[in-house]
Structure 1
Amino acid sequence: MTDRRPHLDSRAVILLVGCCLLWGLQQIVAKATLPMMPPVMQAAVRSAVAALLVWAWAASRGTPLFGRDGTLPGGLLAGLLFAAEFVCIYIGLGYTTASRLVVLLYLSPFVVAAGMPFIAHSEKLSPLQIAGLALGFAAVAMAFSEGFSGGGEQRWIGDLLAVGAAILWGATTLAIRATRLSIAAPEKTLFYQLAISAAAMGLVSVLRGEAWPAEWSGALWGSMFFQSALVAFASYLVWFWLIRHYPATRLASFTFLTPLFGLLMGWAILGEAITPQLMAALAGVAAGIWLVNRKRV
């Protein structure tokens, strides 16, 4: 039995904000690392290192990862969805800006919101919460509508891959909740995704003919440490623990904070512009999050 809570408490909010900050920075770091390491190889190495860290963490806590508990089908599905999501993300970063991709990626709450009522009737959204999701979506669309007609002829490829990644992320969340992974240890859920995605993305990298970096600079080591240890290991472990204990729709909608952090860090690190239209989107996303997370009266 898991200790499930119907609403987000202060602990959940603090953990979510920390995760969103890391996830917003993740796409910026990955984009900056592309000249040093090819995209899919970068994602594969990230998952492989993080999988080893999860294995070591689970071993230190006595959490079994390989026992027969009926989670293998769900684990395979979640791992393949996870791999496809990050192939889309890392390749997409080569065609569009990091800030655009991170915002489009967080369309995933709509996938979760649409699918969760078929899995858990208790998580059906109220009309006000649906309005909150719609407001958040409208704010995101408004923020980047100005860029749809510019930025290079191939930007639409990156945008399309970002939307595909958003759908895959939402589908991964639903797969976790719909299978026996919903009662598995967070370490095991994360290990499935990292280990399977590392193998799948490694194969894709080989098929794409990606070359191993000729030299590993301090910047490349730092990037892979950040992506592997802090994001793919620590923050994802926290995320899967949250999925087990809090409503998935509220968690997914709250992650609209990530594109806000992504925009700010894209401006600070990569020099991407923040226009008045983007600032207006910040208010719309914040209002949408508040509506979706309101307690029902």
Structure 2
Amino acid sequence: MKPAPRFLLIAAFAAVYLLWGSTYLAIKYAVATMPPFLLAGSRFVLAGSILMLVSRASATYERPTLVQWRTSLIVGAMLLAGGNGLVVLAERTLPSSLAALLIASEPFWIVLLSWWWLGQARPSGRVVLGLLLGFAGVYLLVGEQLAAGSGRAQLEGVGLVLLAAFSWAAGSIYGLRAPRPRSPVLASGMQMLAGGALLLVLSTATGEWRGLRPGQFGAAAWLGWGYLVVFGSLVAFTAYSWLLQHAPPTRVATYAYVNPVVAVLLGWALLGEKMTVQMLVGAAVIVGSVVLITTHQKKEG
């Protein structure tokens, strides 16, 4: 694992913890009027193009190889088309906080795949305890909303988000050892272009372009889309790609526990959603689980 300055690690974790937590709300606003695959695909194609131009202007630019493009296609398919695309699709029917709850299953897959796929040590009791505490905390955080949901009408969305969590975890683990550029900016740009292109193909195949009228999307949808491009893709996704090269995957995956805290707090502050004692207890349990996992990783490192 390459050593990294502490302030860069803190900034990168802040991006994936806070900015990605806010993207669930932005997706909810955007997908209310925008077709889901077109929303996700256009977002990543634009952000990927910007990152490619930035990396091309760098003095340390390296021309991507065919093998690196193959990696980008696979990772882009798993992380962006499978991971993000399915979440956007699911948020047509699911509350943003419930989608964040279900994404919290991702660290389980990260731990299991790191052990099975990468041959890392069997998860210790402390890591397992931290993961279980984190999942319990997220359930406490939004469990009341889950119980009040429409149930059967949301089952399809629940299944999509769970599949998205596994796809994202598998793509993250695959990308650790696959050939990729040294620059995280270039690597992120390539993955976004590849994943975004796949999403646009899905958008075309599902007929999202028929009768499309962008002028009818509305200001809230466009603002949500712009937020996703800048903060969700350009900033947070690049930070995530960099973190995977400089921190243990299990530690990086703890963002999936913090994101629901951010999502629920934003819902309370901006949409007037309720904040109960149970939610506050859940948030405290989540913070404790992250501390448990991250301090364990520091001692091992």
Same structural fold, with TM-score higher than 0.5 when normalized by the shorter chain = yes
Structure 1 residues 223-282: Cα deviation after superposition (integer angstroms, max 9, x where no partner):
222111221112211211111111111111244211111111122223333333222211
Paired residue for 2:206?
208
Q: CA, structure 1 residues 162+275, in 2 after alignment: closer, same or farther (shift >3 Å)?
A: farther
**Cα deviation per residue 1:115-154 (whole Å; 9 max; x = unaligned)?**
1134555665332122111111122234344444432241
Aligned to 1:57: 54
Q: Match for residue 108 of structure 2?
A: 110
CA distance in 2, matches of 1:168, 1:75: 15
Partner of 2:137: 139
Residue equivalent to 1:21: 18
| SS of the residue 2:93 aligns to | coil
Where 2:253 maps in the other structure, the secondary structure is helix
User: RMSD between aligned alpha carbons?
Assistant: 2.4
Identity of aligned residues (%): 22
> Quick check: 2:16–2:240 contact (8 Å CA) kept in 1?
yes
Query: SS at 2:131's partner residue?
Result: helix
Per-residue displacement from partner, 1:151-178 (whole Å, max 9, x unpaired)? 2241222222221111111111101113
Q: Quick one: distance in 1 between partners of 2:107 and 2:19?
A: 18
Aligned to 2:273, the other structure's residue is in SS state coil
Aligned to 1:168: 167
Structure 1 gaps, min length 5: none
With normalisation by structure 2, the TM-score equals 0.87
Structure 2 CA distance for partners of 1:230 and 1:123, relative to 1, 3 Å:
farther
Q: Is the 8 A contact 1:113 1:125 kept in 2?
A: yes
- Structure 1 residues 21-50: Cα deviation after superposition (integer angstroms, max 9, x where no partner): 111111101101223312111111111111
Question: What does residue 31 of structure 2 align with?
Answer: 34
Kindly indicate whether the alpha-carbon contact (under 8 Å) linking 2:29 and 2:221 is maintained by their aligned counterparts in 1: no
Change (3 A) 1:65 1:234: farther
Cα distance in 2, alignment partners of residues 37 and 56 from structure 1: 27
Task: Say if 2:64 is the partner of 1:67.
Answer: yes
Distance in 2 (CA, whole Å) between partners of 1:10 and 1:51 is 26
* Structure 1 residue 3: Cα displacement: 2.4
Compared CA separation, residues 35 and 137, structure 1 to 2 (3 A): closer
CA distance in 1, matches of 2:275, 2:98: 11
Deviation at 1:100, TM superposition (A): 0.8
**Aligned pair in 2 of structure 1 residues 25, 140: CA closer, same or farther (>3 Å)?**
same
**Structure 2 CA distance for partners of 1:178 and 1:67, relative to 1, 3 Å:** closer
Taking structure 1 as reference, are residues 273 and 208 closer, same or farther at Cα in structure 2, changes over 3 Å only? farther
Corresponding letter in the other structure for 2:102: L
Report how far residue 180 of structure 1 moved: 2.0
* Aligned amino acid, residue 87 of structure 1: G
Greater shift, 122-131 or 157-166, is seen at 122-131
> In the alignment, residue 283 of structure 1 is paired with which amino acid?
A
Cα distance, 1:47–1:254 mapped onto 2, change above 3 Å = closer
1:174-223 per-position Cα deviation (integer Å, ceiling 9, x unaligned): 01113123x64212321232111211111211222224334165444432
Q: Counterpart of 1:296 in structure 2: which amino acid?
A: K
After TM superposition, the score normalised by the length of structure 1 is 0.88
Counterpart-to-counterpart distance in 2, 1:15 and 1:42: 25
Cα distance in 1 for residues equivalent to 2:2 and 2:66: 20
Counterpart residue number, 1:188 = 186
